[in-house]
Amino acid sequence: MEKSIQIGPYLSSEDVARILSVNVATVKRWTDLGKLDCIKTAGGHRKFRLRHLAAFVLEHKKYSEHLSLLSTTGPIDFDLNTQVLKGAFDKLIPLFLSKVIVCEYGMIQNILHNLYMVHQDLALIYDELLTPVLHQIGDMWAKGELSVAQEHLASQAIRDGIVKLQDVVIKTDTNAGRAFVLTIGTELHDIPAKMVQHLLESRGFITLFSGQATPAGETGKVFESFHPDRVYLSSTYIENIEMAQQEFNELAARCDQYEARLFCGGVGMNQLTLGQKTHIKRLTSFKEVQSS
């Protein structure tokens, strides 16, 4: 029975060989030829970060078919590995949800890392896996199937997973611009906005992320000092529509003043009047964020 690889800060040559289904000598030859980046210790040992493997798989896609990061020691883990490699999100969603609810951090991290290494598409992972799982967590809480504490723990498990995923994500060296990412002031769920920030960073944007409960109308000093050329506003739910509309209007006016484009996303935005100004655009998916 094969030994499961635990994803840590560094991988050995043996780990990489197993993941890519090659022998250790091949891994060493690739590093010597510059095909596979690594970190060499003072003692001459090769150590690898997951981002090194992600970059290699991007250049040599045939090896993505052999990735085997997930444990195959049981039927559930084998099924997970199969669905990750196939990108079968309809089957992967309930499996991933079950791991999130019980906060299996290692498995959550493995699944997200392997998905990115195989598919190289953050927006796909966000749209087809994380968004449906977040919605299901919210629905389960609303139906009383999860306590408030369980809902918070599950959400934080996803947040932890997407933050650690950034270590794998390949980022362009291009300076694409400056982006300010925030939520409606009363918003308590900022994970979607965090995912927007990560997408923009992978595209080369310098970003500011304000987190939850930051009044969008009180951002004047941020515009003065940061000078964003685009702003992304997120909302999952609006309790006080009148207050949120006023906050949005103030932010839209400030974007107009500083000639910054304003992108709005999340179901909460359906409750607001966004207007017809050309610098304001409604986004309905992370794929649209990726191409915005």
Instruction: Give residue for tokens 């250790």.
Output: 24
Please give the Cα distance from 292 to 143 (Å, whole number): 35
CA neighbor of 93 nearest in space, from 130, 139, 143, 137? 130
Domain locations along the chain: 13-165, 177-291
CATH architecture assignment, domain 177-291:
3-Layer(aba) Sandwich (3.40)
Angle between helices 105-119 and 148-165 (to 10 degrees): 40
How does strand 39-40 pair with strand 46-47? antiparallel
Phi, psi of 188 (to 5 degrees): -105, -5
Report pLDDT for 261.
97
SS3 55: helix
Least confident segment among 77-81, 204-208, 225-229 = 77-81
Question: What would the pLDDT profile of 255-274 be if each residue is shown by its tens digit?
Answer: 999 999 999 999 999 999 99
Q: What is the mean pLDDT of the chain?
A: 87
Which DSSP symbol is given to 126? I
Please give the Cα distance from 251 to 262 (Å, whole number): 9
- Cβ pair 207, 200 in contact under 8 A: yes
Greater confidence (201 vs 6) lies with 201
Please say if the pLDDT value at position 113 is more than 50: yes
Greater confidence (154 vs 6) lies with 154
